Amino acid sequence: MMDFLTHCRSVVGDAFVLDMPADMAPFLTDWRGRFTGKALAVLRPASVDQVAALVRACAQWRVALVPQGGNTGLVLGSVPDASGSAVVLSLARLNTIRQVDPVNRTMTVDAGCILQQVQEAAAAAGCLFPLSLAAEGSCTIGGNLSTNAGGTAVLRYGNTRELCLGLEVVTPQGEIWSGLRGLRKDNTGYDLRDLFIGAEGTLGIITGAVLKLYPQPKASITALAALPSPAHALQLLNLMQDHCGSSLTGFELMSRYCLELVAQQFPSLPKPFAAPHPQYVLLELSSSESEQHAVGLLEQAIGAALERDVISDAVVANSVAQSAGLWQLREHIPLAQAKAGKNIKHDISLPVSSIADFIAATGPLLEAAFPGCQLVCFGHLGDGNLHYNVAPPDDISNEDFLANQDKVNRVVHDSVVGFGGSISAEHGIGALKRDELAHYKSAVELNMMRAIKAALDPLGIMNPGKIL
């Protein structure tokens, strides 16, 4: 492979072909620290033309490649396997905001732009890019698109797919498809854009995107409600939507155990209620009119919820700092889990109307199979996405419990499918859920997916072993 690497160095320069173990190490371990792969080299192009040239080289030498953005994925989609035969193609140097068009309300960006960088560029132009996730300081737009990321604002603005108008993609043959059109309507044949969004780099490499922008809200207001059960949370969701309509931009469910875990691991964070409650909902309203309008909507809705015994108590943020403190409770749940130890994660989606029944049915099944296990259940209730994580009982080591991962997955995923849900809502499939996908997808669906993969990537060099 020396000829191959020599050619890659001629394309991007010696400094940007990393083949020493110490230099490659940051690119080879997944974000959760569960797996470390091996690579022939890490390639770091600085332009779309360089990406295309490197892909052509991979096709010529039959070298598999793994596209990587911020490497914040949770399903082993952006790290290579243990063979050491693939290269990692990092897009981190493609990080230019190409154009901001406030009139068309679009922004054209490189795929390696950090999500927070895009949010800030939109704000500087007086606009809003609403995608928001816990990893926004390190995840990239290319990764967000490749996994069709969700986040906390899906209820109002949709997943990343809904926030993208056009793409630029390097195909597995090393050709550049320039579909960077800022059009809301373009009915000229197959929607190629949607093939690549959510494909996790298995069909091509996203190198640029046209993103939708929105008006900055005049005001946002945050509240934390305490509730007796998930069923009450669904009642609150309907009530808030009836009272507030599209002003409701966030609606996050958190169990009592979630906030207890956060309090244990991060004792300096706010403790909004004197006594614990079974469930909590963090909700956010954004008004295009005024703060007074947002406060009025929220007070009316909270008052109605208290009158009908839908909620037990509520705390409303009176400042930006208080709002940030309430959101920190939600955002620190994954961090608290990581500090507490290993757990078996599930990123699932369900019809919103089935969520309370799913929680009520699945908990006892897990308790019967794994007595004493702890359920860390939280997520984006408004769009039906739960992070349903299972932590080990106090008397079992992390390693012993993780040995049961397949059995735990079967209990959870069988229940999810039984309620008409999906085993992956916003994290993707990667390598971690590949076998689970094969277990639950129909033969018809899998065969269509394989046909698309074979047609676009006949050499099978694009992120092999992921999804299929």
Instruction: Dump the DSSP string for 235-302.
Output: HHHHHHHHHHGGGEEEEEEEEHHHHHHHHHH-TTS----SS--SEEEEEEEEESS-HHHHHHHHHHHH
In SS3 terms, 364-407 reads as: HHHHHHCCCCEEEEEEEHHHCEEEEEEECCCCCCHHHHHCCHHH
For residue 342, give the amino acid letter.
Answer: K
pLDDT at 140 over 90: yes
Give me the residue label for tokens 């001629």.
Answer: 10
User: What is the rounded CA–CA span in Å between residue 165 and residue 148?
Assistant: 13
Question: What does pTM read for this prediction?
Answer: 0.93
pLDDT at 120 over 90: yes
Q: Pick the more confident residue, 320 or 43.
A: 43
Q: What confidence tier does 33 reach under pLDDT thresholds 50, 70, 90?
A: confident
Q: Taking Cα atoms as reference points, which of 72, 70, 77, 11 lies closest to residue 41?
A: 11
Phi, psi (deg, nearest 5) at residue 42: -110, 125
Element (H, E) at 106: strand 106-110
Which residues in the chain are classed under CATH 3.30.70.2740? 341-427
Q: What average pLDDT does the chain have?
A: 95
Burial 85-99 (b: 16+ CB within 10 A, else e): ebbbbbbbebbebee
**Cβ atoms 269, 262 nearer than 8 A:** yes
pLDDT digits over 293-319, tens only? 888 889 999 999 999 999 999 999 988
pLDDT (average), residues 52-61: 98
Which residues in the chain are classed under CATH 3.30.43.10? 2-90
pLDDT digits over 142-170, tens only? 999 999 999 889 999 999 999 999 999 99
CATH 3.30.70.2740 fits 341-427, yes or no: yes
Burial 179-191 (b: 16+ CB within 10 A, else e): bbebeeeeeeeee
The whole-number pLDDT of residue 294 equals: 86
Phi, psi (deg, nearest 5) at residue 365: -65, -40
Q: What confidence tier does 196 reach under pLDDT thresholds 50, 70, 90?
A: very high
Give me the residue label for tokens 């006594």.
Answer: 275
pLDDT at 1 over 80: no
Angle between helical axes of 333-340 and 256-265 (0-180°, round to 10): 70
Q: Any idea which architecture 2-90 has in CATH? A: 2-Layer Sandwich (3.30)
Give the list of residues 6+ apart from residue 79 with CB closer than 8 angstroms, or none. 27, 28, 29, 30, 35, 36, 37, 66, 68, 71, 88
The whole-number pLDDT of residue 2 equals: 83
Q: How many helices (H) and strands (E) does the chain have?
A: 17, 18
Q: What confidence tier does 34 reach under pLDDT thresholds 50, 70, 90?
A: confident
**Both tokens assigned to 438:** 């094969």
Give the list of residues 6+ apart from residue 28 with CB closer than 8 angstroms, or none. 36, 37, 38, 39, 79, 80, 88
CATH 3.30.465.10 fits 97-215, yes or no: yes
User: What is the rounded CA–CA span in Å between residue 451 and residue 372?
Assistant: 45
pLDDT digits over 241-267, tens only? 999 998 999 999 999 999 999 999 999
The whole-number pLDDT of residue 338 equals: 87
Neighbours of 450 (CB within 10 A): 12
Fold (topology level) of 219-334: Alpha-Beta Plaits (3.30.70)
Q: Where are the beta strands (DSSP E) in 151-266?
A: 164-170, 176-179, 205-212, 214-215, 219-227, 248-255
Burial class, 16, CB count within 10 angstroms (exposed 0-12 / middle 13-18 / buried 19+): middle
**Both tokens assigned to 239:** 């009530």
Which residues in the chain are classed under CATH 3.30.70.2190? 219-334
The whole-number pLDDT of residue 293 equals: 85
Sign, Cα dihedral of 133, 135, 140, 145: negative
Q: What confidence tier does 385 reach under pLDDT thresholds 50, 70, 90?
A: very high
The whole-number pLDDT of residue 287 equals: 85
Which residues in the chain are classed under CATH 3.30.465.10? 97-215
For residue 285, give the amino acid letter.
Answer: L
